Amino acid sequence: MTLGLENLPEAFVLTNNVIGEGKSNTTIRVTAPDTLTPGTWQTFGVVGTVKREGKEIRTRASTAPALRRRFPQMLHVPPEFDGEVALGVTSAR
């Protein structure tokens, strides 16, 4: 499975983004461009793509388990929050 980012500019560089056969996870690294303005933020999603029987299957990673851990009294994660990851930009020190 190859992982990718949706809703981020192509200037972001993604490495270690392949989950090999027989594996269930990986730690991806995302390098942001130096041109980002401190104080800004944006949301994005992580998508996985795999080929099965000649067809490409694409799915978005769910953030529902993490949201349920953070907000244990939330019975149902709103669909518009599931899969969203927020990126905040700060200045380097």
Question: Is the Cα torsion angle 60, 67, 31, 8 positive or negative in sign?
Answer: positive
pLDDT in tens, 8-57: 888 899 999 999 989 989 999 988 888 888 888 889 999 999 998 999 99
Looking at the domain assignment, is residue 93 inside a domain? no
- What is the structure's pLDDT at 44? 93
Looking at the domain assignment, is residue 34 inside a domain? yes
Q: What is the DSSP string of 61-81?
A: PP-HHHHHHHSTT-SS--TTT
Residue 93 confidence class, pLDDT cut points 50, 70, 90: low
- What is the structure's pLDDT at 37? 87
More confident residue, 65 or 91: 65
- What is the structure's pLDDT at 90? 85
Looking at the domain assignment, is residue 46 inside a domain? yes
Q: Rounded to the nearest 5°, which phi and psi values hold at 71? A: -125, 75
Looking at the domain assignment, is residue 17 inside a domain? yes
**Enclosing domain of residue 13:** 2-88
Looking at the domain assignment, is residue 21 inside a domain? yes
- What is the structure's pLDDT at 6? 93
What helix, strand, coil percent values describe the chain, rounded to 5?
Answer: 10, 35, 55
Total domain count, the chain: 1
